[in-house]
Amino acid sequence: MMILSLAIGCFVVDGWSFWLSVLFLIFFIVQLIFYGFIYRKAYAVDTVTIAEQHPVSVIVAARNDAPGLKKLLPELLRQQYGCFEIIVADDRSVDDTREVVTTFIGKSDKIRYLKVDPCVDEIPGKKLALSKAIRQAKYELLLFTDADCVPSSSNWILLMASACKPNTDLVLGYGAYVAEKNWLNTLIRYDTQLIALQYLGMANAHMPYMGVGRNLLYRKSLWQSTNGFTQHSSVASGDDDLFVQQAVQKRNHATVLHRDATTFSVAKSEFSLWRNQKIRHLTTAPHYKLGLQILLIAEPLSRMVLYIILILLFVFSAKYFALAALLLYLMLMVLKVHRFDRFAKTAGEQNLSIKIFCFDVILPLVYSYFWMIKKFCRPNIQWK
């Protein structure tokens, strides 16, 4: 009886190990599709042909960010581009934003100041400021950034505008964060690079779904023809991703990933501030099409399942299955490190190197925490 029980136990363990290995292989293939195919396309198009220069309206929505404007406006005025204007939409600021912008207006006629006053029908986020600025813009090409951003070079406008060919309505750029020596900054930069690998890669695979308001260009006529932000005016976020989804088509867009076309911001210095920012971004997810939601959750979900299965295989003492799974996992991580390394070099960022091994595990758990906070606590999600 003892021998029979031991044999049955071994059979059960081996059976569990086999099916766990099958599941591991399935989710491994899911990860391989993302990192082997889709994410590679994020940096596959890294050259921009300089085209005829068309006038550009650079739009900056600002709320209580006078220090940021002091850094941004000089960099915008140094842009090597023939004809452009800068519109600062002051979104109900109570600091000295007006005084800062007025000082720069005295130095250049390229800058225009637009005061956005409180209204009865309050629109969350910065969509009210952006809408007013777009209507006031002189030119067809609209290039967007935030008040706390700085372009990486004096060729930012040139590279972004040159990607907008006659049949292109929308150009997706990349907004990075300045590298600092602390774990939160590194985690935020990892998260930002991962999101960029996803949306730029999917766009180049003819599956565009979002851009970032820190570095985004589109035609004024596109915004007008799609009724601007009216379809999602009640959502605090979405001036970039939801608008892109309603306006973009498979062939009317382009992407720019170039070290001279990146914008840099200072990342949140406190975890709670970053949490609130991410939760605000997550409020747009329920407005995505169901198929897109499933596709976007497939990567982090498959990543978490891989780790769980790998642990279970070692728990069940399935040596050969566990070693085979561990080998596949290490191969996948080498591919991931390579993808992030190539992306960082192309964008002009600092390499994250082996830190990716740590954050690859941590980030899905952090997002699960954000989702629970959003679901049950309903925190303040205003943009400023």
157 plus 278 within the same structural domain: yes
203 plus 265 within the same structural domain: yes
* pLDDT for residue 33 is more than 80: yes
339: in domain = yes
Indicate left, alpha or beta for 178 from its phi (over 0: left) and psi (-120 to 50: alpha). Answer: beta
Q: What is the Cα–Cα distance from 163 to 54, expressed in whole angstroms?
A: 11
**Structure confidence by residue, pLDDT tens digits, 72-113:** 999 999 999 989 999 999 988 889 999 999 999 988 999 999
157 plus 281 within the same structural domain: yes
Give residue for tokens 């994250």: 352
CB 243 within 8 A of CB 222: no
Is 125 exposed, middle or buried, given 0-12, 13-18 or 19+ CB atoms closer than 10 A?
buried
18: in domain = no
Q: Which of 26-40, 100-114, 147-161, 237-251 has the lowest mean pLDDT?
A: 237-251
> Given 287, 317, 349, which residue is the final one in a domain?
287
381: in domain = no
111 plus 159 within the same structural domain: yes
Please state the φ and ψ torsions of residue 257, each to the nearest 5 degrees: -130, 105
CB 118 within 8 A of CB 77: no
102: in domain = yes
122: in domain = yes
CA angle 86, 89, 93 (to 5 degrees): 135
165 plus 37 within the same structural domain: no
69 CB contacts (<8 Å, ≥6 apart)?
A: 60, 62, 88, 97, 100, 101, 104, 147
Give, in order, the Cα–Cα distances in Å from 140 to each of 56, 63, 85, 222, 223. 7, 25, 12, 9, 10
> Given 263, 287, 311, which residue is the final one in a domain?
287
298 plus 280 within the same structural domain: no
Indicate left, alpha or beta for 64 from its phi (over 0: left) and psi (-120 to 50: alpha). Answer: left
**Structure confidence by residue, pLDDT tens digits, 300-317:** 999 999 999 888 888 876
191: in domain = yes
244 plus 100 within the same structural domain: yes
Q: What is the CATH number of the domain that holds 213?
A: 3.90.550.10
178 plus 155 within the same structural domain: yes
> Given 287, 308, 336, which residue is the final one in a domain?
287
Identify the domain containing residue 107 by its residue range: 56-287
Please state the φ and ψ torsions of residue 298, each to the nearest 5 degrees: -65, -40
346: in domain = yes
Is 330 exposed, middle or buried, given 0-12, 13-18 or 19+ CB atoms closer than 10 A?
exposed
Q: Which two tokens stand for residue 163?
A: 């990607």
78 plus 207 within the same structural domain: yes
> Is the whole model's pTM more than 0.85, yes or no?
yes
**Structure confidence by residue, pLDDT tens digits, 197-254:** 999 999 999 999 999 999 999 999 999 999 888 888 777 777 888 899 998 877 789 9
pLDDT band at 124 (very low <50, low <70, confident <90, very high): low
- Count CB-CB contacts under 10 A for residue 230: 11
230 plus 350 within the same structural domain: no
232 plus 358 within the same structural domain: no
207: in domain = yes
Question: Number of structural domains, the chain?
Answer: 2
299 plus 283 within the same structural domain: no
